Amino acid sequence: MLITLNLFMIAHIIQWRVMGKTVSPIEPSETMHTLQKGFVNAGFIFFTLAILATLILGRFVCGWGCHILALQDLCGWLLKKIGLHPKPFRSRLLVYVPLIGALYMFVWPTAYRMFHNPENAPLIPQFTNHLVTTNFLQTFPSVAVAIPFLFICGFVTVYFLGQKGFCTYACPYGGFFGLADKFSPGKIRVTPACNQCGHCTATCTSNVLVHAEVKQYGMVVDPGCMKCMDCVSVCPNDALYFGFGKPTILVPKSNAIRKSYSLTWPEEIVGALVFLGSFLAVRGVYALAPFLMALGCATVTTFLTLKFWRLLRAKELSFYRFNLKSSGTIRKAGWAFAAFACAWIGLNAHCGWVRYHEFLGNRAFQKIKLPDELALAQPNPARWLSPADRENIVGGKEHYRAASSVGLFANSEALPKLAWFEYLLGDAKQSVQTLGDAAAHQSGESKALSLYYRGAILNRLGRYEEAQASLDQALAERDDLILARQEKGESLWQLGRREEAVSVWTDAVGRNERLVLVNNELAGAKRLSGKFEEAAAYEKQADQFTPNDPFYHWILARRLQDLGMTELAAKHFEQAGEIDKGQTPGG
Ligand code: SF4
Ligand code: SF4
């Protein structure tokens, strides 16, 4: 069944490639777009139906319809082929991670909007149809992210935490399915033919104590049961079957079944803290580790940290068939394990260090109140910064520099913000360099934005050819980045290619007639070529949308002055002065 599922996924992608459009991804994570943006997509419908079905039939979707489970099964099978039987890691506290993850993914955004809604956006977004898509991979991570994600969540978790390691300790969808299972009557049930041989428990890769539960309750009540039917098929007495019974929530819990756990209580608490720290460190680092991958990594980090700690303290320790320590001496396998654990934990510490500096850099970044247009009105925006702003930016710049200079990968998140700090502090040349570095490691919208800002700063520096090249690249990434057209027109104008400039600006106002600066630029260009009627029309259009703000007029004046459109520049300097009663800086 799981092989069929993977073939179906491949067929879905091929069909999209051939026909150019297809049903949107049937992925539960797509539900986030429904809850936050109102996009009704196939993933949302699938997840809703799956939860409703789970309420009746139990947690069967995990066992029969999940590609990550298929990967975990494949890994378990491969390990068994080489004689390694994944042993379940049993924790009392980490089992709550999937449900917490699910609440964070699917409930928290709505709850947050309910209590913190500055723009008065509706709590329930307006629903729109997104069942069919032409950009199937839009919400998927890149291949560079998907491969390590599948490797960590499908293989590494199985090796260290057992065959359902990811399901048990990380998967947020499993968190909801497990909860729904508690309310469901669909159960693995038993007949009197059971003789408690324990084959079922030995077979179950979900760590369910099948023989004990069916003896105690007449059915499996553990919400970890994925209704895979493995136990049913191996039972030598045909004593197990799928049927309906009391939902787990109504079954009084018996003390007769004592689960054994891998950790002591102090270890549980340390483990929970390590998990949290690792998750915060890894999530989003280098824009490479999405939420689920961070959860998977954190479970592995927790296991390795606690096992490493035991390696240091215990007299005897083994892992699979490997003897890590005996009679207080660490063996070869123990040293190999220690080396791997230190490398993994060290990598987490590195991620934490990067994220810590990014966090402080972002805090400084959010404090900046200087609008981009004002900062970009002249090459050095230092005049607009108060001493406190400057101190904040200097501090933030150091944090971004720390987050991007000792990295294992280029930090494409931190670099553009570092570049902006450099620009604000008056180092426009370095800023251009940093934005170029950022763009080289970005793609799509973020790359387009870095190239746009680079082009804008190059324009302010008078390096018009480089500016035009950068803006062309930005537009190649995102054709709808209209401000890049505005700047490109300025580069062309300054290079003396005035007809081309006018054509680019005309194209821009054709896309958005409210572009005040571009309308002014067209008015200036028409005036200079003696076409006064057309100039007046553009000027009128610009004035219609110009805010009554002295700074705004001053920005327009500066930009028009740089382009040699002096009459219009003078008009806006004057208006800035009038509005501000003569107190506005005058160029
Ligand atoms: S818990 Fe998650 S990963 Fe595991 S089978 Fe269910 S949906 Fe798949
Ligand atoms: S082996 Fe049996 S108890 Fe274990 S998950 Fe499958 S159906 Fe449930």
What is the secondary structure of 549-582 as a DSSP string? Answer: -HHHHHHHHHHHHHTT-HHHHHHHHHHHHHHTTT
Structure tokens at 237: 């007495």
- For residue 368, the CA-to-ligand 2 centroid distance in Å is 55
Q: CB of 191 within 8 A of CB of 239? A: yes
- pLDDT class of 584 with cuts at 50, 70, 90: very low
- Multiple choice CATH, 513-587, 3.40.50, 1.25.40, 1.10.3470, 2.30.29: 1.25.40
Q: Residue 186: beta bridge partners?
A: 244
- For residue 367, the CA-to-ligand 2 centroid distance in Å is 53
User: Phi/psi at 219 (nearest 5 deg)?
Assistant: -165, 170
- Calculate mean pLDDT across residues 400-419: 89
Structure tokens at 73: 């099964």
Residue 532 burial (CB count, 10 A): 12
Q: Tokens 């949290």 correspond to what residue?
A: 276
- For residue 221, the CA-to-ligand 2 centroid distance in Å is 11
Cα 80–chain centre separation? 34
- For residue 337, the CA-to-ligand 1 centroid distance in Å is 28
Nearest ligand to the C-alpha atom of residue 220? 2
> Is 50 close to ligand 1, i.e. is its CB under 6 Å away?
no
How far apart, in whole angstroms, are the C-alpha atoms of residue 248 and residue 184? 7
- For residue 66, the CA-to-ligand 1 centroid distance in Å is 6
What is the secondary structure of 416-449 as a DSSP string? Answer: HHHHHHHHHTT-HHHHHHHHHHHHHT--HHHHHH
**pLDDT the model gives residue 571:** 94
H or E segment to which residue 23 belongs: strand 22-23
How far apart, in whole angstroms, are the C-alpha atoms of residue 568 and residue 574? 10
Q: Whose CA is nearest to atom 6 of ligand 1?
A: 62
How far apart, in whole angstroms, are the C-alpha atoms of residue 50 and residue 160? 29
Q: Whose CA is nearest to atom 6 of ligand 2?
A: 228
Round the average pLDDT of the chain to a whole number and report it: 91
> Is 167 close to ligand 1, i.e. is its CB under 6 Å away?
yes
pLDDT at 455 over 90: yes
**pLDDT the model gives residue 587:** 42
Domains of the chain, residue spans: 2-184, 265-354, 513-587
> Is 69 close to ligand 1, i.e. is its CB under 6 Å away?
yes
- Calculate mean pLDDT across residues 456-474: 97
Nearest ligand to the C-alpha atom of residue 228? 2
Number of H helices, E strands in the chain: 29, 9
Per-residue pLDDT of 79-131, as tens digits, reads: 999 999 898 899 999 999 999 999 999 888 888 877 776 666 677 778 888 88
**pLDDT the model gives residue 264:** 93
Per-residue pLDDT of 498-534, as tens digits, reads: 999 999 999 999 999 999 999 999 999 999 999 999 9
Structure tokens at 517: 């600066």
- For residue 227, the CA-to-ligand 2 centroid distance in Å is 5
* Ligand 1, atom nearest to 67 Cα: 8
Q: CB of 525 within 8 A of CB of 502? A: yes
- Calculate mean pLDDT across residues 374-391: 90
Angle between helix 291-313 and 172-182 (nearest 10): 90
**pLDDT the model gives residue 499:** 95
Of all residues in the chain, the percent with pLDDT exceeding 70 is 97
Q: What is the ipTM of this complex?
A: 0.79
How far apart, in whole angstroms, are the C-alpha atoms of residue 73 and residue 63? 10
pLDDT at 72 over 80: yes
**pLDDT the model gives residue 119:** 63
Instruction: Compute the 3-state secondary structure of the chain and give helix, strand, coil in percent, each to the nearest 5.
Output: 65, 5, 30
**pLDDT the model gives residue 150:** 87
Per-residue pLDDT of 306-346, as tens digits, reads: 999 999 999 999 999 899 999 999 999 999 999 999 999 99
Out of 46, 54, 68, 293, mutate this one to test ligand 1's pocket (max ligand atoms within 8 Å of CB): namely: 68
